[in-house]
Amino acid sequence: MAKVLIENLYKIYPGEKGRPEKVAVDNANFEIQDREFMVLVGPSGCGKTTTLRMIAGLEEITRGAIYIDGKKINEIPPKDRDIAMVFQNYALYPHMSVFRNMAFGLELRGVPKDEIRHRVDSAAKTLGLLEPDNLLARKPKALSGGQRQRVALGRAIVRNPKAFLFDEPLSNLDAKMRVETRTEISKLHRKLNSTMIYVTHDQTEAMTMADRIVVMRYGKVQQIAAPLELYHQPANLFVAGFIGSPPMNFFTGTLSASRQGTLAFIEKVPAGQTPFRCALSAETSRRLSSRQDRELILGLRPEHLQPNSLTSGVTLEATVEVVEPMGAETFVYLRTGGHTCICRTTQIEFMDLEGKKLNLGPDLSRAVFFDPQTEAAIPV
């Protein structure tokens, strides 16, 4: 059970043979609460794994500090940090049985034999490694991917560490196992009630498992927030586009004054095309008044763009390019005058819409506006 504090953390790889140095983690600052499930998410190369490895002690800290329970751990070797890590490829010792794989860390710490047996048995039971088949005597190569994953989890659990670190633990599993294991890890978190730090590039995993999410890009922390806050109030264009699947729609346009005294958003289109325009509510207009006649980006989730909807009295005419029926809902890929967009709806189930025009009703009360220069969201 532990609180982890990341303070002004940098990881800089020196440039070799004349190449410039590479900043893998660029001034990261965040705090992971005791018993929190924190997910670090971002595209590959964003520094999330490097951050995790610095917490684990597998990577040296260039600058800044990491504290576990108030104690600075920069110089403390991994084994004395009281953390356990689950690796992407499980990293089970191929020459040891499942039992020894789980017991190894305890043996090295001089835990008495019966205590080891007890702990391994109880972890194995929790993870279903005893029923229906007792797998403890098997070597890793005789296990399926899912079973190996559970052994890797078990190896972490038996240690009863202050914090669990996960490095993309589900990416080697097939889709079905991934969903199963995802819920299993969530359950485990509830049961063990311990701090977990989880790295993934998959925003679905992040959204479903996390208490809070740290979104990273180019080594920089973009936003730290609870999943739904991240979804509804993204801090910038990158977060808005990264979280949510299908991604948020973006329309570039300008704000101009309308006759009613409010502002209207006018889509930016190539010459000859008709832009879609929509009047903003009085409140939104007030908020954006300083940006009149300036360019900005309107972000709208696919589910806030419904066909033939009259919710806001605004319609957006678009041509259907592709229809993807998912069963419960349908993704419709469309083209407006100047943009492509995706609409996510339960209203359409037929597929022969391709090439046809469709009227869409954007729910502007859910729209997020971004500054095109800074890419930051314009605060509510």
Partner 1 sequence: MKKNFNSTLSIIALLGLGFLFLLPFFWMVSTSLKPLNETMKLPPQWLPSSPQWHNYPDAMKAMGPFWLYTRNSLVLAFLNVVGTVFSSALVAYGFSRLDWRGRDGVFFVLLATMMIPFPVVMVPIYGLFRALGWIGTFQPLWVPAFLAGAFNVFLLRQFFLTIPRDLSEAARIDGCSELRIFWQIILPLAKPALLTVALFQFMATWNDFLGPLIFLARENQYTLALGLQALQGTISGTPWHHLMAASTLVLLPVLVLFFLTQRTFIRGIATTGLK
Residues that bind partner 1 (CB under 8 A): 56-58, 77-79, 83-85, 87-95, 101, 104-105, 108-109, 139-141, 145, 148, 155, 159, 172
Which two three-digit tokens encode residue 128?
């279903």
How far the first Cα of the chain sits from its last, in Å, is: 36
Shortest distance (Å) from residue 90 CB to partner 1: 6
Residue in this structure with the two tokens 């097939």, named with its chain if needed: 174
C-alpha 27/C-alpha 65 separation (Å) is: 10
Nearest to 300 by CA among 273, 339, 349: 339
From the CB of 68, what's the least distance to partner 1, in Å? 14
CB of 145 to partner 1, least distance (A): 8
Closer to partner 1 at the Cβ: 16 or 352?
Answer: 16
Q: How far is the CB of 172 from partner 1 (least distance, A)?
A: 6
The one-letter amino acid at 143: L
CA distance 51 to 64: 12
Instruction: Rank residues 164 and 265 by Cβ distance to partner 1 and give the closer one.
Output: 164
CA 25 vs CA 38, 46, 166, 234, 286: distances in Å: 17, 8, 18, 21, 38
- Contact 343/331 with Cβ under 8 angstroms? yes
- CA geometry: angle at 232 spanning 231 and 233, to 5°? 100
What minimum distance in Å lies between the beta carbon of 193 and partner 1?
21
Instruction: Give the shortest CB-162-to-partner 1 separation in angstroms.
Output: 13
Select 15 or 145, whichever has its Cβ closest to partner 1: 145
Q: Shortest approach of partner 1 to residue 60 CB, angstroms?
A: 10
Please identify, using beta-carbon distances, which residue of 42 and 57 lies nearer to partner 1: 57
Nearest residue (CB) to partner 1, 129 versus 298: 129
Closer of 139 and 220 to partner 1 (Cβ): 139
Q: Which residue in this structure is represented by tokens 């589900």?
A: 170
User: Strands, E, within the chain: which ranges?
Assistant: 4-13, 22-32, 37-41, 63-68, 71-72, 83-86, 163-167, 195-200, 212-217, 220-225, 249-257, 263-267, 277-279, 295-300, 305-307, 316-325, 330-335, 340-345, 357-362, 368-370
In the complex with partner 1, the residue whose CB is nearer, 78 or 246, is 78
DSSP state of 79: G
Q: Say how far apart CA 57 and CA 55 lie, in whole Å.
A: 5
Nearer to partner 1, 143 or 255 (CB): 143
Q: Provide, rounded to whole angstroms, the least separation between the CB of residue 148 and partner 1.
A: 7
Pairing between β-strand 37-41 and β-strand 63-68 as defined by DSSP bridges: unpaired
